[in-house]
Amino acid sequence: MKKTVYSLVLSEDVIAEIDRLAYHKGTNRSNMINQILAEYVSYTTPEKRMQQTFRRLEALLDGRDSFHVQLGGSDSMLSLRSALDYKYNPTVRYSVELYRTVEAEGGIGELRVALRTQSSTLILYLMQFYKLWNRVEESIFGGPVHCRVEDGGKYVRRLELHALTQGGRPVAPGSETLGELIAAYIRTFDAALKAYFYNLNDPAAAQAAVERIYRAYLQQSTVVL
């Protein structure tokens, strides 16, 4: 959504209240005024849409299946953490960044996965899992997955809407439905990651478990990420 600079004459008392509210909500004056006016005319801004999506995502995951929302995110990003059952119980961080608008090809944002560790062995296992996950996704889903693996055991995957009907094009879902789709994907990824580490000593069993979890994910909805 394009933004333009406008000049407004407002009372100092009103500005003081807007600044107070903006500080409380972790945003700036211009964005706060934009949100107030949008709500008054019943217009859903990209920021409001993202907030609604994140609220739904948080409601579905926070405190469940070892997920915990991390505070201090921005309007366009939400981060969660999940404990990995491995030596010293390292924490996996999932960061979801949403685009302001759903792109024509269905792109809605990115998922970033990272693990705070200095263990070269653990990082190696993560790299192996990322490769396996990408291979399973592309072979079972039947199409390319836009992702990349970065140094230090980091993984970035583009989130795109896909309809599971031949020739079908997914319609951009509402904010809450979008939150449900993202939650389902993160829950699936996390379950596959933990299954992989549970079967570290048996690569065949690890791959079978990851494939089983991903196939179950595809059966949950007619639209997936």
Tokens 């995110």 — which residue? Answer: 73
Same domain, 55 and 111: yes
Q: Could you give the CA distance from residue 175 to residue 183 in angstroms, rounded to a whole number?
A: 12
pTM here is 0.83
Give me the sign of the Cα torsion angle 165, 167, 168, 169. Answer: positive
Q: How many domains does the chain have?
A: 2
Same domain, 22 and 98: no
Same domain, 19 and 100: no
End-to-end CA distance of the chain: 24
Same domain, 34 and 53: no
What are the backbone dihedrals phi and psi of residue 124, each rounded to the nearest 5 degrees, phi first? -65, -45
How do residues 115-154 score in pLDDT, each as one tens digit? 988 889 999 999 999 999 999 999 998 888 999 999 889 9
What are the backbone dihedrals phi and psi of residue 36, each rounded to the nearest 5 degrees, phi first? -60, -45
Q: What is the identity of the amino acid at 152?
A: G
Domain containing 208: what range? 46-224
Q: How confident is the model at residue 36 (pLDDT cuts 50, 70, 90)?
A: confident
Same domain, 116 and 26: no
Give the distance from CA 216 to its chain's centroid.
20
Q: How confident is the model at residue 165 (pLDDT cuts 50, 70, 90)?
A: low
